[in-house]
Each structure stands twice: as C-alpha cells, then as structure tokens.
C-alpha cells in the first residue's frame, strides 16, 4: 500500500478533528519544504527514532546502452540516502 500525502492529512484530521484539513496540509507542506531545502543545502536531516536522510555523491560511470550498444558516460550525481533509526529497525 502506498501512503499518499492526502492519506496522511486524513489520518491527522481524524486524530485532531479540531484542526482544519487545509491547515494540516499546510503544516505537512512546510515540513516537506524544510526537509527539501536542508538537502539542497547539503545538510543532514535526523528524525530521532525514525531515521536520517543525507546526500551522497554517486561516482560517474560508463555503461553500454542496451538499445544501440554504444558506450555512454553517466556523470557524477547526488542521491538521497535514508538510514533507518534504531526504533524503526526494532519495529521492522
């Protein structure tokens, strides 16, 4: 099952019915935006008990394109890495 932002908003609204759905959605958007900006600034994000997100540099490489058999270069690129926290590991 995929958890969508809409499902998260609905679940939070069930838990906190006094809050307006639009306000809950705004808070979730703000959290996502803050996390995105931290990664853009190459900062590490740590959510205790859940895990951490960090940016790692992936080395460039060469590969053979299966469609035409040509050797192609893939430039170095950044990727987001998630490492599960202790509490999440214990639950899983």
Same domain, 28 and 66: no
Into how many domains does the chain fold? Answer: 2
Secondary structure class of 4 (helix, strand, coil): coil
Range of the domain at 70: 49-92
Same domain, 33 and 56: no
> Does this model's pTM top 0.85?
no
CB 45 within 8 A of CB 38: yes
Same domain, 55 and 91: yes
Same domain, 54 and 39: no
Same domain, 59 and 33: no
Same domain, 68 and 37: no
Same domain, 71 and 86: yes
Q: List pLDDT tens digits, range 34-81.
A: 999 999 999 999 999 999 999 999 999 999 988 898 999 989 999 999
Mean local confidence (pLDDT), 1-7:
89
Q: What is the pLDDT of residue 3?
A: 86
Beta strands in the chain (DSSP E): 45-47, 51-58, 61-64, 71-74, 77-84
**Pairwise CA distance, residues 40 & 34, whole Å:** 10
* pLDDT at position 1 over 80: no
């Amino acid at each position: 099952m995929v958890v969508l932002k809409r499902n998260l908003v609905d679940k939070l609204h069930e838990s906190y019915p006094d809050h307006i759905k639009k306000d809950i959605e705004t808070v979730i958007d703000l959290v996502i935006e803050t996390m995105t900006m931290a990664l853009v600034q190459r900062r590490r994000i740590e959510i205790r008990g859940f895990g951490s997100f960090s940016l790692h540099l992936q080395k460039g490489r060469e590969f053979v394109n299966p469609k035409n058999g040509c050797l192609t270069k893939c430039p170095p690129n950044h990727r987001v890495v998630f490492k599960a926290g202790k509490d999440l590991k214990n639950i899983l």
